[in-house]
Amino acid sequence: MIPRYAVSTGSTATRDERGGAVAFAGYAAVFDIVDRAGDVVRRGAFSGAGVVPLLWQHRGIAVGVLSVVAEDARGLRVEGVVADLELARLVRGGAVAGLSVGYRATSVRQGVRRELLAVELVEVSLVAVPMQALARLEVLRHPDESQDPEP
């Protein structure tokens, strides 16, 4: 049996004692939640978004790859692998659990809050402190393990 531990979201994730790369899934943005800048992403904002680079703190070269970038009912769901060994260790240990999006707004509605209606997704980043509190990793596993962690 694979030992389990709770990441900062309170969800259960697989602990991988082997080290190396780590696969993950989570939400890079959640719809209808005000972020720390006062922006709100609306459903459909990422319509047509494809796979983009995975960065660390919105800077530098890619630290891994994304295999899935898609909207669902909750937000922008992403899946990928963190290949940078030091960052993978921090992700596995729960020290880095935030996700964030880099984008160019193409359609906004300004009211009390700036509503992002359509954006051009440029990158997704692993971050120490996400702009949107619910933008977090939810599932971790070794890249060689099956997609569905044990219950």
Decide if 63 contacts 83 (C-beta within 8 A).
yes
Distance CA 119, CA 104 (A): 6
pLDDT tens digits, one per residue of 133-142: 999 998 887 7
Of the pLDDT bands very low, low, confident and very high (cuts 50, 70, 90), residue 147 is low
pLDDT tens digits, one per residue of 75-128: 999 999 999 999 999 999 999 999 999 999 999 999 999 999 999 999 999 999
In the chain the first and final C-alpha atoms are separated, in Å, by: 10
Q: Does 60 have pLDDT greater than 60?
A: yes
Report the pLDDT value the prediction gives residue 11, as an integer from 0 to 100. Answer: 30
The predicted model scores a pTM of: 0.81
Cβ-defined contacts of 16-20 (< 8 Å, 24+): 16/92, 16/140, 16/141, 16/142, 16/145, 18/142, 19/85, 19/88, 19/89, 20/85, 20/88, 20/142, 20/143
For the chain, the average pLDDT equals 86
